[in-house]
Chain A
Amino acid sequence: AQTVTQSQPEMSVQEAETVTLSCTYDTSESDYYLFWYKQPPSRQMILVIRQEAYKQQNATENRFSVNFQKAAKSFSLKISDSQLGDAAMYFCAYSGSRLTFGEGTQLTVNP
């Protein structure tokens, strides 16, 4: 079975600074996708970024980028120039035969 681990229950960052959220996963599958989702207080799940396992190039979406290390099964999210609106729960998710979520990291952005 696939597992996803987020070792940081809570993180905080100063506005305009950079923060990195960690995620590791375990799988025996070779073809899969990885996602970072954001869940603000409204609880609507919002896709932040996705990475296809067969692509070596790290995905980037504006201020959000990932460091995908396939051999190490690591998938961290870097948020640059943090904004107050980035404050939310962030979930790392693995999608192979099914979507599996990590426990989440609560990100606080301090003004």
Chain B
Amino acid sequence: GAVVSQHPSRVICKSGTSVKIECRSLDFQATTMFWYRQFPKQSLMLMATSNEGSKATYEQGVEKDKFLINHASLTLSTLTVTSAHPEDSSFYICSAIRGPGGTYEQYFGPGTRLTVT
């Protein structure tokens, strides 16, 4: 149990366009989901925390107008990269937890590789 999926696994888009990444908890209800960004050979950087039915909380330095996060249901969160630029190219990973707060184990999706040309 505790499987998290992400779609798409890879996406290539042109500069100036928008791209949406979906994160789904397949066999549990996720009250909280997280979005991370990871550059090659680096650690995961938390971008934002989303709770079902409320606005996402963004980390300092993350542009909320560029990275739109929607957590519309207990099993789905989406990250939309708006007006993408080459510097947005990265590996994006989502995770989900079953319970409230950050003390519970996070279950990670397989990640999405975004390339902006």
Do A and B come from the same complex? yes
Q: Which residues of A contact B (CB under 8 A)?
A: 31-33, 35, 37, 42-45, 47, 50, 91, 95-99, 101-104, 106
Instruction: Contact check, A43 vs B111: say whether CB atoms are below 8 A apart.
Output: yes
Query: Please, what's the 1-or-0 string for B1-38, where 1 marks a CB less than 8 Å from any CB in chain A?
Result: 00000000000000000000000000000000010001
For B, the interface residue count at a CB cutoff of 8 angstroms equals: 20
- Residues 67-117 of B contacting A (Cβ, < 8 Å): 91, 93, 95, 101-106, 108, 110-111
Contact of A45 among B49, B93, B103 (CB under 8 A): B93
Q: Which residues of B contact A (CB under 8 A)?
A: 34, 38, 41-44, 46, 49, 91, 93, 95, 101-106, 108, 110-111
How many angstroms from the CA of A44 to the CA of B111 in the assembled complex?
7
How many angstroms from the CA of A64 to the CA of B43 in the assembled complex?
22
SS of B interface (majority)? loop
Instruction: Contact check, B110 vs A97: say whether CB atoms are below 8 A apart.
Output: no
Tell me the nearest residue of chain B to A98, going by C-beta: B102
CB contacts (< 8 Å) of B34 on chain A: these are: 99
CB contacts (< 8 Å) of A95 on chain B: these are: 102-104, 106
CB contacts (< 8 Å) of A47 on chain B: these are: 105
How many angstroms from the CA of A95 to the CA of B34 in the assembled complex?
13
For the complex formed, measure the closest distance between the CB of B71 and the CB atoms of chain A, giving whole angstroms: 17
Contact of A99 among B41, B91, B106, B110 (CB under 8 A): B106
Tell me the nearest residue of chain B to A32, going by C-beta: B103
How many angstroms from the CA of A11 to the CA of B45 in the assembled complex?
23
Tell me the nearest residue of chain B to A52, going by C-beta: B103
